[in-house]
Amino acid sequence: MSRRFLIAGLLVFAAFSFGACKKDKKIRFAFIPKALHIPVFNYAKIGAERQADIFGDVEILWNAPFTNDQVKQREILETFIAMGVDGIAISCLNGDYLTPTIDKAIEQGIPVVTWDSDAPRSKRVAFYGVNDFESGVIMGKEIVNLLDGKGEIAVITTLGADNLAGRLNGALSEIKKAPGIKIVDTFDVEDSADKTARIIATATETYPGLKAWLSVGGWPGFSRNILDPVDPAKTKVVCFDTIPPALEIIREGKIQLALGQKYFGWGAETCKILHDIVVNNIYPEEELVDSGVDIVTPENVEAYAAKWDRMVKGEIIE
């Protein structure tokens, strides 16, 4: 019997044993992003609440540490388990650290779906998000092409997050094929746009010959002034995330490629997955639900901006 069938059986048995079926009141789904200060997660909240309104029988409970704090995130997860919520959707700051608590939720009959950042060694039911390694491969190939296979680059990441590690490994798998490219430094920005700004300003002076920045998160596009020290004629930028103001920065030529995620879908799709499990006992066909990515460049930014406007208005949810 597969791991997923064992977990599904455990959830059905535990839900019966603990009286998890609540027919007379709304189903409560707890959503836990990495941190409240990270702007991409605001759109996940909108997506979850929109989908809850469509269902009509779902209440979204949204909470997270304000800044990156894996201990606080686990405490919030523990609180939701103690509350006996009907389902949990979480973007993990540190998947291994959260694994015992996620497993505890499963054992108590609460289905857990991870999104954005996974806990792959836990008993979580499914993960919804991008294929991080393959997304990193796209970034690595773009860096190599932009630099014609040679030059110094610097890397921006946040240590400890499973999703960011996967992207970086994918990018490095391509960069290693170009011996003319040298990584001069790898910076841990601790998921902070402010720290990213300071690092880019300092490193631009420290490494005057820098040819590119590779950011496996969206921090360079989170504020209009973060890339002010960078001369786009000399130094290219490849990064994740396409939320405002990133599109304006792409238009200005300061970002050469950004990978967009399914920000609204983080909330909407995981809400659908949990609803199917809790209400219909239907589980995703695949344990890893690949959301895909949007590749945005100065050449197609206007088309993506039009799509973004439709998503913001609720005409489409991705």
Q: Is 16 a residue whose pLDDT tops 90?
A: no
| Per-residue pLDDT, 215 | 98
Going by pLDDT thresholds of 50, 70 and 90, the confidence category of residue 23 is low
- Quote the DSSP letter at residue 177: T
Query: What is the C-alpha to C-alpha distance for residues 87 and 273, in angstroms, rounded to an integer?
Result: 10
Q: What is the rounded end-to-end Cα distance, in angstroms, of the chain?
A: 34
Omega within 30 of 0 (cis) for the link into 245: yes
Residue 6, helix vs strand vs coil: helix
The domain 3-130+262-286: what is its CATH number?
A: 3.40.50.2300
Query: pLDDT tens digits, residue range 235-245?
Result: 999 999 999 99
Q: Is 155 a residue whose pLDDT tops 70?
A: yes
Going by pLDDT thresholds of 50, 70 and 90, the confidence category of residue 132 is very high
Query: What is the C-alpha to C-alpha distance for residues 306 and 299, in angstroms, rounded to an integer?
Result: 14
CA angle 304, 309, 312 (to 5 degrees): 125
Report the pLDDT averaged over residues 195-218.
97
Query: What is the C-alpha to C-alpha distance for residues 93 and 116, in angstroms, rounded to an integer?
Result: 10
State pTM to two decimals: 0.89
CA angle 236, 193, 37 (to 5 degrees): 145
Query: Which of 261, 264, 219 lies closest to 238 in space, CA to CA?
Result: 219
Report the pLDDT averaged over residues 99-115.
98
Report the pLDDT averaged over residues 8-32.
64
Query: What is the C-alpha to C-alpha distance for residues 251 and 156, in angstroms, rounded to an integer?
Result: 22
| Per-residue pLDDT, 126 | 97
Strand 236-240 relative to strand 257-260: parallel, antiparallel, unpaired? parallel
Report the pLDDT averaged over residues 9-16.
50
Sheet holding 150-157, edge to edge: 180-188, 150-157, 210-215, 236-240, 257-260, 294-296
> Does CATH number 3.40.1640.10 belong to domain 132-260?
no
Burial class of 71 by CB neighbour count within 10 A (0 to 12, 13 to 18, 19+): exposed
Decide: 32 and 43 in contact? Cβ < 8 Å: no
Domains 3-130+262-286 and 132-260 share a fold: yes
C-alpha distances in Å from residue 113, one per residue of 154, 231, 270: 34, 42, 7
| Per-residue pLDDT, 25 | 84
| Per-residue pLDDT, 10 | 53
Going by pLDDT thresholds of 50, 70 and 90, the confidence category of residue 19 is very low
- Phi and psi at 79, nearest 5°, equal -65, -45
Query: What is the C-alpha to C-alpha distance for residues 183 and 195, in angstroms, rounded to an integer?
Result: 20
Query: pLDDT tens digits, residue range 231-275?
Result: 999 999 999 999 999 999 999 999 999 999 999 999 999 999 999
Q: Is 9 a residue whose pLDDT tops 80?
A: no
Query: What is the C-alpha to C-alpha distance for residues 219 and 249, in angstroms, rounded to an integer?
Result: 12
More confident residue, 2 or 78: 78
Query: What is the C-alpha to C-alpha distance for residues 51 and 46, in angstroms, rounded to an integer?
Result: 9
| % of the chain beyond a pLDDT of 70 | 92
Spell out the domain ranges in the chain: 3-130+262-286, 132-260
| Per-residue pLDDT, 2 | 54
Average pLDDT value over all residues in the chain? 93
Q: Is 13 a residue whose pLDDT tops 80?
A: no
